[in-house]
Structure 1
Amino acid sequence: MSTIPSYALYGETPEQRWFESIHYEPISRRAKHYEWKIDPHQHEALVQLLYVQKERGVVHLDGSSVEFTAPCFILIPAQTVHGFDMGAGIDGSVVTAAQRPLESIISTALPSLADMFDKPLVLALPDTRRLHTTLQTLFSLVEQETLIASESDQSAANMLLVSLLLQIRRVDQSRHAPNPVHGTRKAEQVDRFRTLVNNNLGSLKTVAAYAAQLGITAGQLRRICQEVLGQTPLSIINARIIHVAQRDIVYSTMSIQQVAYSLGYDDAAYFSRFFRKHTGLTPSEFRERVRAHQPLADTPEKR
């Protein structure tokens, strides 16, 4: 089975401490170099934020393809396999940043944005001078911070990115198109389930336990998730466990045993087998490879 390349920046070996850095560049710089086509790849711990101001294209996200036209905003969370077919002359701004610090800021300062990195976002923007000025200013300030701040202190740039995400959330909420399942009882139950998964990984361990919290049966939860998300509850739980485990293994000082315990595993060896099944690496191998700045292959299961 072929693997999906993992980069810090597309086409480059992650030689720098990429899991702590922030990088800004015009979209056209890399797109033009690769003749407006970016092959599928992923960023293990990095999120990308793109503000497309000119031209159009297609973004490929975990096997799905979405057309976009300027002006638009694209958010690509860490570990999302993505690629682009871009119109010649496309331009705008792209920021690549460590996702974990942004999540930490959001969790304490703006918890309403906690789900921003749950899935990719391709958002058509209203073509207004006010919004353009706001977004352009924020991206420009981020660029300035990447030039003047030390790599070990990107706090100001991270705060600017959180402000940017807040602006995008407001636009998204004001322009959210009706969805056949959005707002239905089933969609609301799925939203509650995903919130429970995000907040109770260490305490709720089975599909039945989550279903009980929702006041439904495990069978009902399976049918609802399949209908609304096209996934099983177990795959959603497992993907979240792996996502959180990878973050904690990379960014915390916890031992593997402590990471396992925080996720509800009393047996670290069992946790290691689970982690290897879903990533192809043991937790220790994953930590060593990331800290040695080695690219990581795509994982068998993704969120």
Structure 2
Amino acid sequence: MAMEKNFPNYRVYGDYETDFSLHPVHLDDVNTSTQLNNWAIEPHRHDDLYHLAYFYGGDGVLYMKGEALSLKAPCFCAIPAGDVHSFYVEQTIQGYLMTISRSYLDELLESSASCLRLLDRPSYIHGGKRFFALIDPLFQQLKSEYTARKQARALIIRALISLVFSYLSRHEADNDRLSDQRSAEDLNLWYYRQFQNMIGYSVAEKRPVSDYAAELRISATHLNRVCRAVAGKSALKVIHDRLISEAKVNLAYTFQSVSEVAYKLGFDDTSYFSRFFKSHTGVSPSVFKARVRKPD
């Protein structure tokens, strides 16, 4: 049973039609786009599009996977393809929201493992004045090139996006004490990312690790080594974590009952789903649902 998608899968927010195969980058002014929607972007997802939000003024709240992040400008929010998210912002908000084809970014950033890592995890990035002094002019140039539509526009936009991700990955590496991996580790990262993508489309099917490994043309033992090298956990734990993540999203953002969420995630026994959820989170699904829905 393939997992149903319970949230709008937009191209650009509110729009199902924008063709990213021809124009892989879309740039919005955050203030303008949120004002049109009463300063709120309701829960939605983009299965093959990556979001990079840059806020340089104002504040708000980002909700992702049942958790709230307070947005204090200047800051970045990186939202991987497929992750359900929503924004609620003040009228003073200023910044940009870039929506970018994931395949375009994969090709653009393939030479840098540290840049590619940014595409697979949600991030809240806050830096000092020196950091944003580097980043802000790049976004001003991006806005100019995006709106002017002059000769060599696509090439310049590619160069500017490359610079943005290079500075972001360097900033993250400095903070996390991470560095680019060597070729063998790059291959591990590639396998891991392919594995994650496969899980995203079949998490409710309860496929064994060996099935994913066979599709990747490696052994289950090899896939476990990859996951431990990249994420510090087994392949089965990666699958379980994705199940829990999807469960949290459905419990937090929909009015479905615990049993309905369990069924959509491939659990025939609600009691087993509740035990599974509690073993990974420390609380039952009903308690989690009550907590995230409790008004401030």
> Is 1:197 aligned to 2:205, yes or no?
no
Paired amino acid for 2:163 = S
Q: 1:192 to 1:104 in 2, by over 3 A?
A: closer
> Is 1:17 aligned to 2:8, yes or no?
no
Separation of aligned partners in 1, 2:80 and 2:5:
22
User: How big is each residue's C-alpha offset from its partner over 1:109-152, in whole Å with a ceiling of 9 and x where there is no partner?
Assistant: x34322121111111222x1x33332121112222222344899
> Is 1:133 aligned to 2:130, yes or no?
no
Separation of aligned partners in 1, 2:91 and 2:48:
29
TM-score w.r.t. the length of structure 2 is 0.60
What's the counterpart of residue 283 of structure 1? Answer: none
Separation of aligned partners in 1, 2:92 and 2:228:
53
Paired amino acid for 1:157 = I
Residue 47 of structure 2: which of 30, 44, 50 is its match?
44
Percent identity over the alignment is: 20
Q: Which has the higher helix share?
A: 2
TM-score w.r.t. the length of structure 1 is 0.59
How far the C-alpha of 1:2 sits from its partner, in A, is 7.3
| Total equivalences in the alignment | 215
Q: SS of 2:70's equivalent?
A: strand
**Is contact 1:28–1:92 with CA below 8 Å preserved after alignment?**
yes
What's the counterpart of residue 201 of structure 2? Answer: none
Q: 1:233 to 1:68 in 2, by over 3 A?
A: closer
Q: 1:48 to 1:83 in 2, by over 3 A?
A: same
Q: 1:212 to 1:132 in 2, by over 3 A?
A: closer
User: How big is each residue's C-alpha offset from its partner over 1:223-254, in whole Å with a ceiling of 9 and x where there is no partner?
Assistant: x974xx6x538979xxxxxxxxxxxxxxxxxx
**Is contact 1:27–1:92 with CA below 8 Å preserved after alignment?**
yes
What's the counterpart of residue 124 of structure 1? Answer: 126
**Is contact 1:40–1:83 with CA below 8 Å preserved after alignment?**
yes
What's the counterpart of residue 248 of structure 2? Answer: none
Paired amino acid for 2:224 = A
Q: 1:9 to 1:113 in 2, by over 3 A?
A: same
Residue 26 of structure 1: which of 8, 26, 29 is its match?
29
How far the C-alpha of 1:211 sits from its partner, in A, is 3.1
Separation of aligned partners in 2, 1:6 and 1:151:
33
RMSD (CA atoms): 3.8
Separation of aligned partners in 1, 2:64 and 2:157:
26
What's the counterpart of residue 170 of structure 1? Answer: 170
Unpaired runs of 5+ in structure 1?
183-190, 237-276, 279-303
Unpaired runs of 5+ in structure 2?
179-185, 196-212, 245-263, 266-296
**Is contact 2:26–2:100 with CA below 8 Å preserved after alignment?**
yes
Q: SS of 1:8's equivalent?
A: coil
Q: SS of 1:49's equivalent?
A: strand
> Is 1:91 aligned to 2:94, yes or no?
yes
**Is contact 1:55–1:70 with CA below 8 Å preserved after alignment?**
yes
Q: 1:80 to 1:212 in 2, by over 3 A?
A: closer
How far the C-alpha of 1:194 sits from its partner, in A, is 5.5
User: How big is each residue's C-alpha offset from its partner over 1:155-213, in whole Å with a ceiling of 9 and x where there is no partner?
Assistant: 33122112101111122223349xxxx9xxxxxxxx99766434786544554342367
